[in-house]
Amino acid sequence: MVISSLVIKCRPGKEEELIQAAKGIKGLEAGAWLEGQVVFSLESDSLKEAHRCLEVELKELPGAIGVYPVYIHCGEEITS
């Protein structure tokens, strides 16, 4: 399992719209928000799934300007 913490920057006043749209994304939960920034946690089954969510789904949320991972913890062994 992969647990990530991230901040999504959005247009001021669009925080609630962003949070509502994010409710449809598996494993994503909104936390605090303040003037153009919303904190989320994301639980994924793999690094590949987490990366796809960060690079594709979250960037497409209405009002999103940028997606900024803060912390990523991987409970699986990474091999090259």
pLDDT single digits (tens) 5-46: 999 999 999 999 999 999 989 999 999 999 999 999 999 999
Q: Residue 36 is part of a domain; what is its CATH number?
A: 3.30.70.920
pLDDT exceeds 70 at position 80: no
- Residue 79 belongs to some domain of the structure: no
Residue range(s) defining the domain that contains residue 56: 2-74
- Residue 10 belongs to some domain of the structure: yes
- Residue 25 belongs to some domain of the structure: yes
- What proportions of the chain, in percent to the nearest 5, are helix, strand and coil? 30, 45, 30
CB burial class (10 A; 0-12, 13-18, 19+) of residue 50?
buried
Provide the domain count of the chain. 1
Q: Given this model, what pLDDT does residue 49 score?
A: 94
pLDDT exceeds 70 at position 4: yes
Question: Cα separation of 74 and 79, whole Å?
Answer: 12
| Strands, E assignment, 12-52 | 28-34, 37-44
Question: Cα separation of 40 and 43, whole Å?
Answer: 10
Stated pTM of the model: 0.86
pLDDT digits (tens, 9 = 90+) for 51-79: 999 988 998 998 899 999 999 998 765 56
- Residue 24 belongs to some domain of the structure: yes
